[in-house]
Structure formats: structure tokens, C-alpha cells
Amino acid sequence: MKCLEKGLVVWLTGLPGSGKTTIAKGVMEKLVEEGYRVELIDGDWARKTVSVGAGFTREERLNHLRRIAWIARLLARNGVIVLASFVSPYREARKMVKEIVSEEVRFLEVYVKASIEEVIRRDPKGLYKKALAGEIKHMTGIDDPYEPPENPWLVLDTENQSASENIEILYQRLKEELTEIRLLCEG
């Protein structure tokens, strides 16, 4: 097990269906194989556990992401690499998350980029179909905006690169970051 003095938070943001969680899972597997302590927090898990009943209005999303930011910070300050996969559609929300996390640990914003046309085509959960039929309100990209990051640490293009390519790109960049973090133990 590789014990880090402090972990870090990798915040994957992008439209629903862009590939955030798929990439995070792939990177997590690689890091765990190397002996790192890693936690993946994604929107589906969070809304079933720590944010039960959280809605999708701007204010509800901000409150939901504030909770997640504190959880991520607590984990990371205790030596865990946190991969957080959240649509987090507003720059204001991501700025708030970064401020909370960055007080103690490194925050890396990753923009998982895919066009609205592509995510509607993929529609893995059928959410866009429902939103376009008027069955879901506040759907990011349909009747609620997605504000792309202005200066992310990394951009992963899931329309022009495969999931495995994006996993490898993020993994390699993370490995570079991890060389700068002090190991407390290795065994």
C-alpha cells in the first residue's frame, strides 16, 4: 500500500453521458493496482446516499456539490486520491468546490468534453429522451445550461478519443502529479 501524506481531488466535469464515470473507474483501477488508496465519488452514488432528495435547481445543485466537496476534502487530506465524477454544470459551483478543497489539498479540474449532439446520441440512461419529451426539468444541456471550464487542468475529448485513450491520458498526467506528493509508506 502506498500511503500518501495528502491525497488530491480530481474533479471530472462534463455533460451527462460524456464519459466521466467510465474514465474515473478506469483510472481508479490502475491506481489501485499500484497500491494507492482511491475513492470514486459519482453523482448517482451521492444522490442515493449523502444527498438523498437533492433536486436539480441551481441552488439544490450548489448545496449538493458543497456536501461532496467537503467529503472529497476530508478523504484527500487523509491520503486518499479522490476521483469525483459530477456534471457540476455551473462555473460558480466548480469555483466553490475548488475553494473548499484547495484549502488543504490539490484540486485538479478535468473537463470531459463531448458535444450535446453526441451525448444525446449516447443517452446511456435515457435522460435526454425524457428531457426532450418534457418529462424531466432542469436537464443539463437541454433546459439548463452547462458552462464549460475556462481553464481546466486537463481536457479529455470523448468524441475523438476512446475511453481507453482518455483513461491512459488522465492516468499518466496523474502519475506526474503524484511524483510531487510525499509518500509516508510503501509496502
Is the distance from CB of 4 to CB of 184 less than 8 angstroms? yes
Q: Of the listed 88, 102, 115, 164, which one is catalytic?
A: 88
Per-residue pLDDT of the chain (187 residues; tens, 9 = 90+): 787 889 999 999 999 999 999 999 999 999 999 999 999 999 989 999 998 888 888 999 999 999 999 999 999 999 999 999 999 999 999 999 999 999 999 999 999 999 999 999 998 888 889 888 989 888 998 999 999 999 999 999 999 999 999 999 999 999 999 888 877 677 5
Residue 147 sits in a domain whose CATH number is 3.40.50.300
Host domain of residue 84 = 2-186
User: Phi-psi bin for 88: left (phi > 0), alpha (psi -120 to 50), beta?
Assistant: left
Q: Is 18 a catalytic residue?
A: no
pTM over 0.85: yes
How many domains is the chain built from?
1
Tell the residue number behind the cell numbers 479529455, with chain if given. 156
